[in-house]
């Protein structure tokens, strides 16, 4: 893969400037995240964890549209959980790797700063940036760096949150509207921009009810679940009523680097 890599030991990572911060808040949150992603791929899970399921579908479809041998950059790769979708491609995952010590970063090819990617211009044919942009202090600069690393006509799959709880504190800086993310993409040199909301108001309410369940202590959790779980499962049925999607969990975006 073209371009060098900024590499650091586990002891040096905390001193790397800027970039992606993956502070998952401890081992239990890491385990919960993995279980949620797996559950989201089941029929019931796709209903409950619509956002995660939508991301998995989007990444799979994006990967399927690439030619064999395409050079792919996963900017903010974390544990490389999407790498398997790109088995036919030349995949490069980069992250700052300064998050949960329980995370497995062994599949990362490069450790570095997304705001100063250690790759030559035009090194990649495609890139993904999945729920990472909210964790970088300069999202516009990161998108500019991704655009620089892409060849002319290279494609980007970007996923950003809109209505989402504060997470991975203190490195949680932004939420994005469709207008804001379009402007950032255009300023970075992208065109053919498509932005799709992930669910509407009723899916958002469903997700918030599930979040509320986490607030109850174990002793009363079963009682709370009896009252909150049924509406959480039923509400998404009415999501078709929200045609504006002004209340949405996040956005899945595709764009191409302008020639």
In a domain, 4, yes or no: no
d(CA 207, CA 165): 11
Strands, E, within the chain: which ranges? Answer: 71-75, 90-95, 110-111, 124-130, 150-161, 190-197, 250-257
CATH number of the CATH domain containing 33 = 3.40.50.150
* Burial environment of residue 194 by CB neighbours within 10 A (0 to 12, 13 to 18, 19 or more): exposed
| Bridge partners for 111 per DSSP | 95
What's the order of all strands across the beta sheet hosting 110-111? Answer: 110-111, 90-95, 71-75, 124-130, 150-161, 250-257, 190-197
In a domain, 167, yes or no: yes
Reported pTM: 0.81
By three-state DSSP, how is residue 64 classified? helix
In a domain, 176, yes or no: yes
Please tell me whether residues 63 and 95 are part of one structural domain: yes
Q: 220 is in which domain, residue-wise?
A: 202-241
In a domain, 8, yes or no: no
Please tell me whether residues 39 and 120 are part of one structural domain: yes
Per-residue pLDDT of the chain (259 residues; tens, 9 = 90+): 333 332 232 323 332 223 333 333 334 445 455 555 565 566 666 667 889 999 999 999 999 999 999 999 999 998 899 999 999 999 999 998 765 566 687 878 899 899 999 999 999 999 999 999 999 999 999 999 999 999 999 999 999 999 998 887 888 899 999 999 999 999 999 999 999 999 999 999 999 999 999 899 999 999 999 999 999 999 999 999 999 999 999 999 999 998 7
d(CA 30, CA 10): 18
Number of domains the chain contains: 2
In a domain, 212, yes or no: yes
| Residue whose tokens read 């700063």 | 113
């Amino acid at each position: 893969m073209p371009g060098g890599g900024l590499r650091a030991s586990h002891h040096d990572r905390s001193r790397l400037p800027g970039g992606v911060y993956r502070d998952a808040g401890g081992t239990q949150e890491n385990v919960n995240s993995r279980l949620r992603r797996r559950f989201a791929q089941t029929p019931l899970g796709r209903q409950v964890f619509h956002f995660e399921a939508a991301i998995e579908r989007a990444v799979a479809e994006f990967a399927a549209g690439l030619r064999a041998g395409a050079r792919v950059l996963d900017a903010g790769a974390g544990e490389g959980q999407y790498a398997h979708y790109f088995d036919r491609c030349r995949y490069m995952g980069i992250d700052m790797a300064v998050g949960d010590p329980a995370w497995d970063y062994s599949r990362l090819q490069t450790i570095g700063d997304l705001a100063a990617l250690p790759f030559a211009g035009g090194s990649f044919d495609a890139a993904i940036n999945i729920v990472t942009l909210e964790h970088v202090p300069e999202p516009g600069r990161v998108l500019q760096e991704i655009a620089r690393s892409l060849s002319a006509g290279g494609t980007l799959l970007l996923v950003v949150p809109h209505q989402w709880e504060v997470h991975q504190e203190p490195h949680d800086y932004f939420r994005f509207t469709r207008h804001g993310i379009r402007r950032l993409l255009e300023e970075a040199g992208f065109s053919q921009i498509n932005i799709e909301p992930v669910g509407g108001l009723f899916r958002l309410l469903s997700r918030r009810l599930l979040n509320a369940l986490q607030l109850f202590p174990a002793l009363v959790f079963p009682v709370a679940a009896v009252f909150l779980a049924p509406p959480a499962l039923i509400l998404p049925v009415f999501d078709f009523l929200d045609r504006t999607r002004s209340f949405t969990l996040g956005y899945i975006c595709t764009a191409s680097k302008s020639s």
